[in-house]
Chain A
Amino acid sequence: MTSLDQPVEAVRPTRTLLENVTATFIGRPSMIFAAVVILTFIAIALFAPLLAPYDPLAQSYLVINAYPSAEHWLGTDQFGRDVLSRLIYGSRNSMIFGITAPIIAALVGTTLGVVAGYFGGIFDRLVTRMIDLLLAFPDLLLAIIISAALGGGFWNILAVLSIAFVPGFARVARASTLAVKQEPYVEASVAVGLRTPLIILRHVVPNIAAPVVVLMTLWVASAIRLEAALSFLGLGTRPPYPSWGNIIRDGLNNIFGSPWPIIGAGFAITLVVLSFNMIGDAVRDLLDPEIGQ
């Protein structure tokens, strides 16, 4: 009976997820910067009413186009509204859309992609055609078309951003599912007596999660950018409510009177988008076994 008392080969201690995350962050000082920026902006968005020195909608004809001063840290615009307060409230839009739209799109797109990839057939062809159709338009153009049809408003913007991202998720999820479906462990789970819905939930979805999560983090930046672009074009958040996009739009008409709205909002967008992109890259390296470690 040699088999039952064979010593187990030495097993390399594996790193936990937390250790992996820590290692990724310590390996890149820029990650700490990005994380600080994002956490700061999330805090600003959450506590906007406490932080904003003025009402972002309050106009004052006494301080039109003011330069930065002790009262107005970032100056005022052509209506005498405090630029800093508007930026602070505007961050709420960017954060809410930036974070929720990719999550909604990931849920919808992944479901479509996994079901299409796993079952194939007519549903698969239908979904694939739909993806091709939507991907034929650039994100922004697609968003403009849909929002022109739906109009502005919070829910419509959320719908527009989500729809714009669904095809990307569906395509990635479908392709990954096609690969995972062929794996012997999926066949083995059939042989164990698992029924199809459980096979998909327990064996397919966890194995395609990595690319979906990477895509989600990378698209947070895109969603923020897209919302700003829509608002800039007048299709997103409606004035007078501030969003970084329409702050720039308002500022553009008055660029020689007061450049501060454009400078401030432009800087905020750049900083947040850059930070989310850096985090997205880090998440990709962390989850992709081909690149990482």
Chain B
Amino acid sequence: MTRPLLKISDVSVEFGPKANAIRVVDSVSFSIGAGEAVGLVGESGSGKSITSLSILRLIPDPPGRIVSGSIEFEGQDLLKLPANRMPEIRGRDIAMIFQEPMSSLNPVMTIGDQIAEALMLHQDLDRDARWQRVIEVLSLVGMPDPAARLGAFPHEFSGGMRQRVMIAMAVACNPKLLIADEPTTALDVTIQAQVLELMKSIRASVNTAILLISHDLGVIADLCERVVVMYSGRIVEEGSVESIFSKPEHPYTRGLLQSIPRLDDDRKRLYQIAGTVPMAGSVKKGCPFYARCDLRVDKCAAEMPPMFEFSKQHKAACWVTGEAEQ
């Protein structure tokens, strides 16, 4: 197997004072191949956004810090890179799309200038070539009459259009990896569908790898080939979209999939996973899902399950299903 584009190994992130730090991300490992789309799913507070921020070392420090692990991008450990080299990676090799299109654009700067900013930093183009490229990416993201919109300010656009501008900013330098942190959460359902279509078409045309963070399994199934499920700062299941959606092995993933409302279902009450997500770092021992799990056995409370391999592509951290498989 060739070297993956991004290899996250054993990354842990802590917040708060060192003496009683809260471990928000705990020993997370996964990798993304070149051109591959990976979905990162989990409830609010499961650590998925922090994991994605740690890749670009954007975790606000203080209070947060990455305490261990390595993040290898094309064989180079980003966590060992001096801090002043990170801006060279950001935006050029790894770009990011944020959750809130309404406030992720500078209100007093034209969208043309904002897209050109990334190009100015990372690509050696003259003025004309740069504007040409800005127009090119704007039409790539489906902006009608892009040349005329260069001088427009963010407030002149709707949320969906702003998210397109954000995507244009992110893909302007042809990044090898695009991290999209819930790119559709703040949008209407119809606009969500458009933005997803757009991400698909962009992926096809610029061949970038995508890390899509979402709590919406439908979105992930639509765009990704592989899924990583996080719960309470840990990865609990990982596998191809097909295998996870057809045969989830971790009880948490099963619960998530059952929670999706179905059109052909006439049940009155929607399914829910009982209980609430434990506060990050509050589970010191055993499986973090223990308190809410239908399958739990005594062993679960005592010891954190390792990742059991169910098939070459499919791993899950559960004592019950894992040992039954062996």
A residues within 8 Å of B by Cβ?
A: 1-9, 11-12, 14, 183-185, 187-195, 202-203, 206-207, 209
Contact = CB atoms under 8 A, between A and B. Distances in A.
A188 B172 CA distance: 14
Given A3-B142, A193-B90, A206 B103 contact: no
B197 A3 contact: yes
B92 A193 contact: yes
Nearest to A14: B156
Interface of B: 56, 58, 84, 86-92, 95-96, 98-100, 103-109, 117-118, 121-122, 142-145, 152-153, 155-158, 161, 166, 169, 193-195, 197-198, 201
Contacts of B161: 8-9
Contacts of B107: 185, 207
B96 A191 contact: yes
Contacts of A187: 58, 98, 104
A6 B194 contact: yes
Contacts of A194: 87, 91, 117, 121
Contact of A202 (B109, B145, B153): B109
Given A2-B197, A11-B156, A191-B58, A185 B105 contact: yes
Contact of B87 (A1, A183, A195): A195
A214 to B, nearest CB: 15
Contacts of B86: 193
B117 A190 contact: no
Contacts of B144: 6-8
Contacts of B104: 184-185, 187-188
B106 A185 contact: yes
Nearest to B195: A3
A3 B141 CA distance: 8
A29 to B, nearest CB: 31
A190 B94 CA distance: 12
A281 B99 CA distance: 37
A187 B90 CA distance: 12
A1 B201 contact: yes
B145 to A, nearest CB: 8
A217 B90 CA distance: 40
B89 A203 contact: no
A211 B171 CA distance: 35
Contact of B108 (A2, A12, A195, A207): A207
Kindly list the 9 A-B residue pairs having the minimum CB-CB distance in the complex, ordered from nearest: A193-B91, A193-B90, A192-B91, A3-B197, A191-B96, A4-B142, A193-B87, A184-B104, A3-B194
A188 B195 contact: no
- Tell me which of A2, A5, A8, A14 has the highest count of chain B C-beta atoms within 10 A of its own C-beta: A8
Contacts of A195: 84, 87
A191 B157 CA distance: 22
B88 A193 contact: yes
A201 to B, nearest CB: 12
A158 B193 CA distance: 61
A192 B118 contact: yes
B90 A190 contact: yes
B121 A193 contact: yes
A192 B169 contact: yes
Given A192-B121, A193-B118, A195-B87, A207 B106 contact: yes
A293 B86 CA distance: 43
A209 B109 CA distance: 13
Nearest to B191: A6
Given A184-B104, A185-B103, A206-B109, A192 B90 contact: yes
A193 B89 CA distance: 7
A290 B221 CA distance: 43
Contacts of A184: 98-100, 103-104
A2 B91 CA distance: 28
Nearest to B156: A11
B134 to A, nearest CB: 14
Contacts of A4: 142, 198, 201
